[in-house]
Structure 1
């Protein structure tokens, strides 16, 4: 049975001029995610990440904790949806505001719901159906190269992970619109694949932020 670990990137720079930069807290979160993989004695044969800076930086920090890790292959299909484009076309141009992240999150969730409902008629550069096809294709291709008993890790984003987990449950839209809001930075989801197909075994595990590390837990 093959295993795919989906790791959400560490905290980015919410509200800053360039969101796509791993914050100091994000680096600490990435380190803990890597140590969690060590604790699980993960024997990684493949590693992937998107091309976004926060995803690549999380991969570098996390995998540095392992005694041996495969070279990370970048694949932009693991990139997050374009929240700026979606907010511009379906959310009245709502912008990140570090002083009121809850208000922005509410506006983004409303925009995402409208984006999904619009389907191919969305004016966004990437529609919901195309996003769904992109991320499911990335997972399918990764699963296809897993040998018997091999393990892979992917450093990606909350929307990608929640959509894929929702798709494996048969409801990708619910995954994006409901699971996405509870994904934690540097959380780990586990997918297994074998003769019976590909199955989500766990979603959004974050026990590595229990105890003394509780202060590092974040969602955005």
Structure 2
């Protein structure tokens, strides 16, 4: 059966003028997750990433560590939801200073966003976000031959949405999974005759014995 590794991007620049840039720790995490995939003997023949800078930079660093000569194809369907838009329409915009305060505000806004459904005033509603992530993963899975593997460098919300869908947990599962995704964590899907299955979620043992583990 085929396999898809969903990799969350390395740590972005929380609190900086441009959040989308990888932090110095994020750059190290991106190389480390590539080394972890190499250690596992992953045979990556296809790679995808969103169009966000933090996703593209993570893909480049990780794939360079794999040393396959492969580059990730950009597909904006792998982009994260617009957290600023969600906060603006379903919560209270909050400065990126205290990660805990910011996360609490974001959690509340995301809950409101998912409950609003297609009626959300955001540029992208929760149903639309789910539809594009489902389409992206389904298309990639269909392109894999028997035993072929792919890696996708994306974001925590995308990974949480895909995992929640495969678990049949809907929006509530998404909210819980989204909260705990680690930077440069690995989620593995397998594609077989019965369709896609979630084999593992948010693996981060490659960081637990170091100071590299982070969530935001």
Q: TM-score range by the shorter chain?
A: over 0.9
Q: Residue 63 of structure 1 corresponds to which residue in structure 2? A: 63
Q: Equivalent residues in 2 for 1:150-169 (5 A)?
A: 150-169=148-167
Q: Residue 16 of structure 1 corresponds to which residue in structure 2? A: 16
Q: Is the 8 A contact 2:63 2:71 kept in 1?
A: no
Q: Residue 146 of structure 1 corresponds to which residue in structure 2? A: 144
TM superposition outliers: structure 1 runs of 4+ over 4 Å: none
Distance 1:127 1:163 in 2: 13
SS of 2:107 mapped into structure 1: helix
Matched, 1:118 2:116: yes
Count the aligned residue pairs.
Answer: 216
Q: Is the 8 A contact 1:48 1:72 kept in 2?
A: yes
Q: Equivalent residues in 2 for 1:15-164 (5 A)?
A: 15-97=15-97, 100-164=98-162
Distance 1:122 1:207 in 2: 37
Distance 2:152 2:118 in 1: 28
Residue ranges of structure 1 left out of the alignment (5+ in a row): none
Q: Is the 8 A contact 1:42 1:151 kept in 2?
A: yes
Distance 1:76 1:95 in 2: 26
Residue ranges of structure 2 left out of the alignment (5+ in a row): none
Find the partner of 1:216 among 206, 212, 215.
212
Q: Residue 169 of structure 2 corresponds to which residue in structure 1? A: 171
Q: Is the 8 A contact 1:10 1:30 kept in 2?
A: yes
Say what the alpha-carbon RMSD is for the aligned residues. 0.9
Q: Is the 8 A contact 1:164 1:175 kept in 2?
A: no
Distance 2:51 2:144 in 1: 22
Find the partner of 1:197 among 195, 198, 202.
195
Q: How far does residue 69 in structure 1 lie from its aligned partner after superposition?
A: 4.3
